[in-house]
Amino acid sequence: MTTRLPKRALLTGGAAALAVAALPGARRAEAQQTPRNAMVIAAQIDDLVALDPHHSFEVTGSDLLKNVYDQLFFIDETKSAAELRPGLAESFTISEDGRTFTFRIRQGVRFHSGNALTAADVVFSLRRPLQINRTPAFMYRSVGLTADNIEQTVRQTGEFEVQVTFSQAYAPTLIQNLFTATIASVVDSRLVQQNAGEDRGNTWLNRNSAGSGAYRLTRYQPNESYMLDRNDNWWRGRANLQRVIVRHVPEAATQRLLLERGDVDVARNLTPTDIAALRGRPGIAIQEFPRGTIQYFSANMGDPILSNPKVIEALKHLVDYDAIANNLLPGQVFPHQSFIPRAILGEVDARPWRFDPTRARALLAEAGHPNGIRLAIDTANTFPSLDVAQALQASFARGGVTLEVLPATGAQVLAKFRARNHQLFIGIWGLGYPDPHYNADSFAHNPPGANNPGKLTWRNNWNIPGLTARTEAAMRERDQNARAAIYRQIQEEFMGTSPFAVFAQQQVQVAVRSNLTGYMASSPGLSAIYWRANKA
């Protein structure tokens, strides 16, 4: 049987070939091969809604922006664990009371525009997220920085010196990790202000870039593609490849065919079936990269049935953890049962829950439901969430739980979840920056009396004054070992009593042409790494 590529896919591959053919000094590529000084990636990028680094809050956006912008610190991509390194802040000191951080800014760095990077750019960039007040601004508010105090708390104290004063003393590693996040990207303040309107340059930055990183954005077509060209003067050293092109190819099967034909170097969003079909094929390699993203379902404790702890315990015994990892999503996840991902401070590798329908039925009987119960689960109508929901429907039935699956668009499901109108919810949660507080703040922190729709605890009506106090203590603990111990204690209680069933951690699985080396689809710093990619 002959397989015909969709017309859109053919145009996508052709457009990519035309773009890379324009590379200075590039020889004409051989048939079914992209130019040696460019990398072409087929990926799903239709969730890329913001290119402004102080606005973007999508994983796809991080993959682009971390290759275009620099932050005060970065995570060493050559290490398996999240190890901090000095970025634009080459050093820092902390005041005796632990509240004021003084950062010495690296000299000699230039933006893509040619403008010199100074402390003024850092101050502008640290203040701006709260001033434009987009989604990621909550990260700064979580450490006491607000739009009202930002001009007093973030100050320039020298041409290459910046001070940030917090409302209380936080763990130094928490602040360093926070300043590795995309929200902490330093932008070219002069260039942004030249193009700023009433929105402080937000509209302009969502179509252009003003960074100092390994690559500069040279073309962006929403829902179609983006193109990056190398910054030959990057302070960390020149990237190997001159150009990176990422094309939007929504269908996994089309990504696979483009890779097989040699029209792209990387297929980014393949299913386990596609991976299995490509494994062992000449000229193609399969690569896997752990990512700090966890998968879970949660229960609304405001529901009269789910408020019973025995019911929650029964549901956790009805997840077939090994089947999800080994049969449903092989190679794309691995079993994990707590909210801190592997390779992050305070990780816990315990797996206290196992699939046990007999025990689940007994617990439901003890809860007053000897004939079982009926529940509904809300899920996005996309892979893998919908597939997991259907797997849960089958495993729950073995323990006496009739589960209705309610698929909808991601936006619809999230709106219902944030309004606390769900019973059960399938979620995927990414680590915004590689510090345990980022996840603990949402999974184990719910200040009493507060309206916190951004917190998963609040959305599930889980009131936990004890865990909340311990999470706040962990933020302030300056001894790294003691801090890790607190997070391990929090997770032990969380796994035993929470309305969350964490069942897996994501692993990014990609297929690449064999002549491509060094490409990282994910890193300890959470984003894809383009600058290490090279071709034989």
Per-residue pLDDT of the chain (536 residues; tens, 9 = 90+): 333 333 333 334 444 443 444 444 444 334 368 999 999 999 999 888 899 999 998 888 999 999 999 999 999 999 888 899 999 999 999 999 999 999 999 999 999 999 999 999 999 999 999 999 998 998 999 999 999 999 999 999 999 999 999 999 999 999 999 999 999 999 999 999 999 989 999 999 999 999 999 999 999 999 999 999 999 999 999 999 999 999 999 999 999 999 999 999 999 999 999 999 999 999 999 999 988 999 999 999 999 999 999 999 999 999 999 999 999 999 999 999 999 999 899 999 999 999 999 999 999 999 999 999 999 999 998 889 999 999 999 999 999 999 999 999 888 998 999 999 999 999 999 898 999 999 999 999 999 887 878 789 999 999 999 999 999 999 999 999 999 999 999 999 999 999 999 999 999 999 999 999 999 999 988 899 999 999 99
Domain assignments of the chain as residue spans, ordered by start: 1-50+213-283+514-536, 69-212, 290-508
- Quickly tell me which residue has 């009593």 as its tokens: 497
Fold match, 1-50+213-283+514-536 / 69-212: no
Outline where 317-435 has alpha helix (H): 321-323, 357-366, 385-397, 410-418
**Residue 84 CB: number of other CB atoms within 10 A?**
18
CB 406 within 8 A of CB 376: yes
At residue 524, the pLDDT reads: 85
Q: Which CATH class is domain 69-212?
A: alpha beta
Q: What sign does the dihedral 130-471-179-239 (CA atoms) show?
A: negative
Crossing angle of helices 7-21 and 252-261, in 10° steps, is 50
What is the reported pTM?
Answer: 0.87
Length of the chain equals 536
**DSSP states of 441-480:** HHHS---TT---TTSHHHHTT---HHHHHHHHHHHH--SH
The whole-angstrom separation of Cα 445 and Cα 455 is: 8
At residue 57, the pLDDT reads: 87
CB 177 within 8 A of CB 434: yes
At residue 21, the pLDDT reads: 40
The whole-angstrom separation of Cα 454 and Cα 130 is: 16
At residue 13, the pLDDT reads: 40
Opening angle at CA 473, ends 467 and 477, nearest 5: 140
Q: Looking at the domain that runs over 1-50+213-283+514-536, which CATH code has it been given?
A: 3.40.190.10
Q: How many CA atoms lie less than 13 Å away from 319 in the CB half-sphere?
A: 27
The whole-angstrom separation of Cα 367 and Cα 376 is: 19
Q: Which CATH class is domain 290-508?
A: alpha beta
At residue 28, the pLDDT reads: 38
At residue 68, the pLDDT reads: 98
The whole-angstrom separation of Cα 236 and Cα 5 is: 41
Interacting residues of 341 by C-beta distance below 8 A, sequence separation 6+: 290, 291, 292, 293, 294, 347, 431, 439, 505
At residue 332, the pLDDT reads: 93
At residue 47, the pLDDT reads: 82
- The token pair at 170 is 């936080």
Interacting residues of 222 by C-beta distance below 8 A, sequence separation 6+: 48
Q: Which residues lie across from 290 on neighbouring strands?
A: 507
The whole-angstrom separation of Cα 353 and Cα 360 is: 11
Cis peptide before 524 (omega within 30 of 0): no
